[in-house]
Chain A
Amino acid sequence: MIPALAPRRYGPVNWIGLWTLYRKEVRRFLAVGTQTVLAPMVTTLLFLAVFVLALGHSVELVGGVPYMEFLAPGLIMMAMTQNAFANASSSLMIAKIQGNIVDLLMPPLSALEITLGLAFGGLTRGIVVGVATAAGIWIFVPLHAAHPGALVFYGVMASLMLAQLGVIAGIYADKFDHMAAVTNFIITPLAFLSGTFYSTERLPEFGRLLAHLNPFFYMIDGFRFGMIGHADGSLLLGALALIGVNAALLIANYLSFQRGSRLKA
C-alpha cells in the first residue's frame, strides 16, 4: 500500500536535515582529499623541515623541551585552524558563485541548523587535518599528550572558532579575491604571529602584550600545553576567551542566517 503523501514531521530539530548538511560538508572535502588533507600535511611537514634545518641546531630548550617538540603542536594547530576556516568559507563561497546556495536556503533548515551544519563540517576538516598532520610529524618528532583533556578541548574549540569565522567570511565575501584577502591579511598573520614558531616569553614587554591580545595565541598556547605541559599564558583566560568567542560567533551566524543578509533577496 502506498502511504499518503504528507509533509515529513519532526520535532524542534530537523535531525535528518542537519545530518545531511553535515555529511555533505564532510564529503565535499573528502572527495578532494589530496587538496584538503594531504596538501596541508605536506606543507606543514615542509615548515617543520625548514625551521628545524634553519634553527634546530640550537641546543637550548624552549618551554622545557627541544625546539622541535615546541614547534610541533603549533604547526598542527595552525594546519587545523586554517583548514577549518577554509572548509566553511569555501563551501559557502563556491555555493554562492555557482548559484547552488539555494539548495542550502530552500530546505526546511533553521538558521541554527545551517550554522551548526557548516561549523561542524569545518570542525571535522580541522580535526582530520590535525590528526593527519600529527601522524606525519610523529615520524620525525616525538609527540606527547601531557594533558589529553586540554589537547582535545583546545583543538575542538579552536577549529570550531575558525570554522565559524569561515562561515562569516563565506557570507560576506562576494569574490575569491575577498576570501584571499581575508586569508592573506587577517588569518595567516594572526596565525603566524601567535607564537606558533616562537615562545612569547622571549619577546620584549610590548611584543608580549600584543601577542597576548591575539586570540590565536591562546589557542596555540593551550593546545601546546596539552602536548608538552608548558604554557606561556593563562590557560583559564584562554579557555574562557575561546568559549566566549565561539558563543558570540554562534549568535552572530545565527542572526545572519535568520535575516538572510547577503544570501536571500
Chain B
Amino acid sequence: MTVDAPTDIGRQRRFGAVNWLGLFTLGRREASRGLKDYHYQIFGPVISSLLYLAVFHLAIRTTTSGGSNAELLNFIAPGLIIFVACEKAFENVCFSFIFDKHERIISDLLMAPLTALERIGGYLAGACLSGLVIGLAVALVSLLFADLSLAQPLALIFFALMGTVMHGLIGILVGIWAEKWDSYAAVHTFLLLPLSFLSGLFYRVDHLPALAQDLVRLNPVFYVIDGFRFGMTGEASANPWIGGAVLLAVNALLFALAYTWFRRGYRLKP
C-alpha cells in the first residue's frame, strides 16, 4: 500500500503584491494575545475605569453641596473610554515585542515573508482591535454612571481609530527600541500617562490659564480625547478639523519612522 505524499511539499506559496494570509495571521495573533486572558485583560481596565468614575462621582459630592454632577461625569466618561482604548493599543504592541525579544521568538516575525508595511499593518490591526474591544467594554459599564450619546458617529470612529493607531505606532517604536520591561514602564509612566492625564481627560481645558491652554494644544493626545468626546457629546474645546489634521500628520510621521526602522531592521536584526 502506498501513501500519497502531499503534492505541495517544497513548493513555495505564491501570493501577489500583499501577503494577505501573513498579514491576517499576524493581526490575529496580536489581537488574541491582547484579549485571550479576558478576565484580566478586559475586566482589569473595566474595573479601573469604573473606579475612576466612582471616585469622581463621590469627590464631586465632597466638593460641592448638592447640585448635579451628571454633567462632569458625562464629560469624563468619553475621555476615559478613549484613554483606556489607547492605553491598551500601546500596551498590546509593546508587550508583544518585549515578550518576543525576551523569549527569543522575535525571529519568527523577522523570518516570515512579510514586508515592513505588512508587519506594521498586522501589529496595528491587533492593537486597534483589542483597544477598541476594551473601549467598548468600558463604554458599556460607564452607562451605569453617565449618559453616553452619539452626536457625531463618523467623528467618533475617526478619532477612535486615530488614537489607537497613534498609540499602536508608539507601541511599535518603543517595542523595537526597548530591551527591558523597565523601558516599557518608563515610557508609560513618564510619557503616556502625563500626556493623557494632562490633556483634558478629566477637566475642561477652557478653564486653564492661557499659557497652559497653549501648551495643551501642543499635545497630540489632547486632540484624540477632545475629538472622541466631540463624537460623543458634540462639544469640543478645539476645532475637530484641526485636531484631525494634527493627528493625521502625527500618525504619518510615526508611521514613516516605524517603516524605516522595520526596513533597516533597527535593533531587531544583527
A146 interface residue (CB < 8 Å to B):
no
Q: B59–A55 contact, CB under 8 A? A: yes
Q: Which of B12-20, B105-113, B201-209, B261-269 touches A?
A: B201-209
Given B40, B48, B64, B197, which contacts A50 in the complex, CB threshold below 8 Å? B197
- Decide if A252 is an interface residue (CB 8 Å cutoff): no
- Cβ-based interface call for B133 (8 A): no
Q: Could you say which residues of chain A place their CB within 8 Å of the CB of B48?
A: 184, 188
**Measured CA separation A182–B41 after assembly (Å):** 13
Choose the segment among A12-20, A34-42, A96-104, A256-264 that binds chain B (4+ C-beta atoms closer than 8 Å): A34-42
Are A203 and B198 in contact, with the CB atoms below 8 A?
no
Count contacts on A: residues with CB < 8 A to the other chain.
36
Contact B62 A189 (CB under 8 A): no
Are the C-beta atoms of A49 and B51 separated by less than 8 Å?
A: no
User: Do A188 and B51 form a contact, CB below 8 Å, given A54-B56, A181-B40?
Assistant: yes
Indicate whether A46 reaches chain B with its CB closer than 8 angstroms: yes
Contacts of A62 in B (CB 8 A): 62-63
From 108 to 133 in chain A, residues with beta carbon under 8 angstroms from any chain B beta carbon are none
> Is B51 a contact of A39 with CB atoms below 8 Å?
no
Bound complex: CA of A32 vs CA of B189, how far in Å?
14
Among A46, A53, A184, which residue has its beta carbon within 8 angstroms of that of B44?
A184
Q: Per-position contact with B for A54-75: 1 when CB-CB < 8 Å, else 0?
A: 1111101010000100100000
**Given A46-B193, A54-B202, A189-B47; A39-B59 close (CB under 8 Å):** no
From residue A21, how far is it (CB to closest CB) to chain B in Å?
A: 24
- The answer to whether the Cβ of B242 comes within 8 Å of any Cβ in the partner chain is no
State whether A60 touches B185 (Cβ < 8 A): no
B218 near A: Cβ within 8 Å?
no
A193 at the interface (CB under 8 A from B): yes
Question: Is A50 a contact partner of B61 (Cβ separation < 8 A)?
Answer: no
Residues of B within 8 A of A198 (CB): 55, 58-59, 61-62
B190 neighbours in A (Cβ, 8 Å): 39, 42
In the complex, whether A197 has a CB less than 8 A from a CB of chain B is: yes
Q: A35-B182, A55-B60, A177-B37 are in contact. Are A43 and B202 (CB under 8 A)?
A: no
In the complex, are the beta carbons of A54 and B55 less than 8 A apart?
no
B243 smallest CB distance to A (angstroms): 20
Which residues of A are found within 8 Å of B186, using beta-carbon distances? 34-35, 39
Q: Which of A35, A42, A60, A67 contacts B194 (CB 8 A)?
A: A42
Residues of A within 8 A of B189 (CB): 35, 39, 42-43
* Distance (whole angstroms) from the CB of A25 to the closest CB of chain B: 19
Query: Contacts A184-B40, A202-B61, A203-B61 given: A50-B202 contact, CB under 8 Å?
Result: yes
> Nearest 3 pairs between A and B by C-beta?
A58-B63, A198-B62, A54-B203
B-to-A contact residues, CB < 8 Å: 37, 39-40, 43-44, 47-48, 51, 54-56, 58-65, 72, 76, 182, 185-186, 189-190, 193-194, 197-198, 201-203, 207-208
